Structure 1
């Protein structure tokens, strides 16, 4: 197994441990608060996930596509090991992405890389968007990686 394959598998295993903790929970303000308390910026889980994302970025298996000034990629499709969540990561610098709807919600991990980067106005940590919510994902004040967990991989881009 190459170092890249090892890092990707370790990243998947780390995500699976996290999704096991949140599987079946409503995507709401209570989950947002719990994630930020238990796994927020500065926590071991946050540091592990951010380091894994930075490694994936450096090795080229993370954010391997680019469009409209945003690097992005779906890393894992939803499956049983990930408790039905897909995993996407975007690399954004002072930009707004395409408007979309979260039919089943979305869980975002915000990882600033440069400046005091904010995602939809939020600093480093978690943002939970409830089912049916919509936004034009926006990074301001620098550059950030944002990891998206989507139930059943569902996302609907609007025109």
Structure 2
């Protein structure tokens, strides 16, 4: 697994997401098309673990909060960036999503939650904001940002 293979693996996601408004209907569509247990969902989960083991994903940060941008927005990704974070029982830095945020929640610890949500999809609409929080263990969060836009706040 390398970045190029990963980008090809997630292409069905970036193609779908880039063609739809970032709203709760997108969350519903992702849940119907690529639910936990589906071939693509599970392949992405496995690929994230392989990439972390290889050292090119979640390469920044420290114990409890590792992160990193995997893919910059481009025409090939439908102008979406791809980031992955690995959080353990922590609230991350508060930030705003100017154009929205599409999250794939991948618990490592059984029962771990991201912003109160289990394994699956979570979509934040444009101009939303939060402190990304993992409770009850450890989880990976893969998130797509339109145009790579995110604003960290104080």
CA deviations on 1:48-84 (whole Å, 9 max, x unpaired) are: 1101101001111000000584100001100000000
SS in 2 for 1:58: helix
Q: 2:35, 2:127 → 1: CA distance?
A: 24
The equivalences for 1:30-109 within 5 A come to 30-67=25-62, 69-109=64-104
Q: Do the aligned residues in 2 keep the contact of 1:106 with 1:130 (CA within 8 Å)?
A: yes
TM-score, structure 2 as length reference: 0.96
Q: 1:68, 1:52 → 2: CA distance?
A: 21
TM-score, structure 1 as length reference: 0.93
SS in 2 for 1:55: helix
Who is 1:3 aligned against?
Answer: none
Q: 2:99, 2:91 → 1: CA distance?
A: 22
CA deviations on 1:10-36 (whole Å, 9 max, x unpaired) are: 111112221112213111111101111
Q: Do the aligned residues in 2 keep the contact of 1:108 with 1:127 (CA within 8 Å)?
A: yes
Structure 1 ranges of 4+ moved more than 6 A: none
Q: Which one of 127, 148, 152 corresponds to residue 147 of structure 2?
A: 152
Gaps of 5+ in 2: none
RMSD: 1.2
Who is 1:136 aligned against?
Answer: 131
